[in-house]
Chain A
């Protein structure tokens, strides 16, 4: 299957700083990328959906000014957690889906490895 690389896998930052997480599709063009947050023992919570070249669509309750998403190319999307606070500590996962010619829409979402963010 297709490969999605997410970096970093773990990050510890001080409260008030910003952290950028990268999500790259290595062997296909990801027209749509999804960013999830997962709390311990809970399922994935969709934060936002981003389409290449356009603004991300945020789910209700997700602060777009705090969680900045950029999807500037077909292989890269970034999530920046701005002015991080301890309550932002979580597991963040990206997934990518290709457009026509890459398997179409009715296919699995390919996941990155996830990023464990700890804000101290």
Chain B
């Protein structure tokens, strides 16, 4: 079956760095997405990786290793507004998105 694993919850301190991991097993691979979702709102797009390596976009970076079925989202200089759920999703061979359960990130002052 298809499976996306990510931690349920993480806590970090304002100004620090946090890494949210995601491992996957899917039928084919056409890219991995990270989304941010604040409570009561729809997800917003953060990043898309289809090739191995690190993609940097401001305070957020996303890494992919296809051979290991592994990705991480790195958040630097954490701000209180970064408190949210972070969803990992993989596009499979049918171009369907398979979603992880999300990681709730709690930022403390």
Q: Which residue of B lies closest to A4 (CB)?
A: B42
Cα-based distance from A114 to B35 in the complex (angstroms):
15
Residues in A whose Cβ lies below 8 Å from that of B100: 43
Tell whether A98 is near chain B: CB-to-CB under 8 Å. no
Q: Chain B: interface secondary structure?
A: loop
Q: What is the count of residue pairs linking A and B with beta-carbon distances less than 8 angstroms?
A: 45
Contact A43–B95 (Cβ < 8 Å):
no
Residues in A whose Cβ lies below 8 Å from that of B95: 105-106
Contact B45–A1 (Cβ < 8 Å):
yes
Cα-based distance from A107 to B48 in the complex (angstroms):
8
Contact A114–B33 (Cβ < 8 Å):
no
Contact A108–B42 (Cβ < 8 Å):
no
Tell whether A109 is near chain B: CB-to-CB under 8 Å. yes
Residues in A whose Cβ lies below 8 Å from that of B45: 1, 108, 110
Q: Which residue of A lies closest to B30 (CB)?
A: A106
Shortest distance in angstroms between B91's beta carbon and chain A's nearest beta carbon? 7
Contact B42–A111 (Cβ < 8 Å):
yes
Residues in A whose Cβ lies below 8 Å from that of B96: 46, 49
Contact A44–B43 (Cβ < 8 Å):
yes
User: In chain A, residues 18-76, which have Cβ atoms closer than 8 Å to a Cβ of chain B?
Assistant: 34, 41-44, 46, 49
Contact B42–A114 (Cβ < 8 Å):
yes
Cα-based distance from A34 to B101 in the complex (angstroms):
18
Contact A44–B99 (Cβ < 8 Å):
yes
Known A43-B87, A106-B30, A107-B48: A114·B41 in contact at CB below 8 Å: yes
User: In chain B, residues 44-103, which have Cβ atoms closer than 8 Å to a Cβ of chain A?
Assistant: 44-45, 48, 50, 87, 91, 95-97, 99-102
Spell out A's residues near B (CB within 8 Å).
Answer: 1, 6, 34, 41-44, 46, 49, 91, 93, 105-114, 116
Spell out B's residues near A (CB within 8 Å).
Answer: 30-31, 33, 40-45, 48, 50, 87, 91, 95-97, 99-102, 104
